[in-house]
Amino acid sequence: MTLRVSISEARARLPELAQRAMDAPGEPIIIEHRDRKERLVLTTESHLLMLEATVAELRKARAGGPFKLAGSLQSDLSDEQLEAVLLKQKEARKAANAARLRDLLEG
């Protein structure tokens, strides 16, 4: 669950919030200001770089035009089996993205 704090609370708890953001970079902290519609987000630089790299990849993929389904997908898998396969693929993609981010940061 995303943590939401007021700007005055964030000011008072900044070291604690910074540590929390560094311990869990995928869980940004929302900082709200009562006089502003737009909110701030506290996260790590590595998480921001990963988001920027993901957006760049998506933009590159879109440059080729919109996605078009070439045919119908058929499977002998049950819904549960299909969900398990999709979850495994999602986890593999997440690991690949993390490895790419490490390469970007180290290189």
**Do 49 and 32 reside in the same domain of the chain?**
no
Q: What are phi and psi of 32, to 5 degrees?
A: -100, 145
Q: Per-residue pLDDT tens for 58-104?
A: 888 777 766 666 666 777 888 888 889 989 999 999 998 888 888 88
Write out the two tokens for 12.
Answer: 């008072």
**Do 38 and 48 reside in the same domain of the chain?**
no
Asked if residue 9 lies in contact with residue 64, where contact means CB atoms within 8 angstroms, the answer is no
**Do 55 and 88 reside in the same domain of the chain?**
yes
Asked if residue 29 lies in contact with residue 3, where contact means CB atoms within 8 angstroms, the answer is yes
Which residue stretches of the chain are H helix? 7-12, 14-23, 45-62, 79-106
**Do 16 and 57 reside in the same domain of the chain?**
no
Asked if residue 101 lies in contact with residue 46, where contact means CB atoms within 8 angstroms, the answer is yes
Q: What pLDDT is recorded for position 52?
A: 93
Give the containing element (helix H, strand E) for 1.
none
List the domain range (segments joined by +) for residue 92: 44-62+75-107
Is the Cα dihedral 15, 1, 85, 50 positive or negative?
negative
The per-residue pLDDT of the chain, averaged, comes to 87
**Do 52 and 91 reside in the same domain of the chain?**
yes
Q: Is residue 69 part of a domain?
A: no
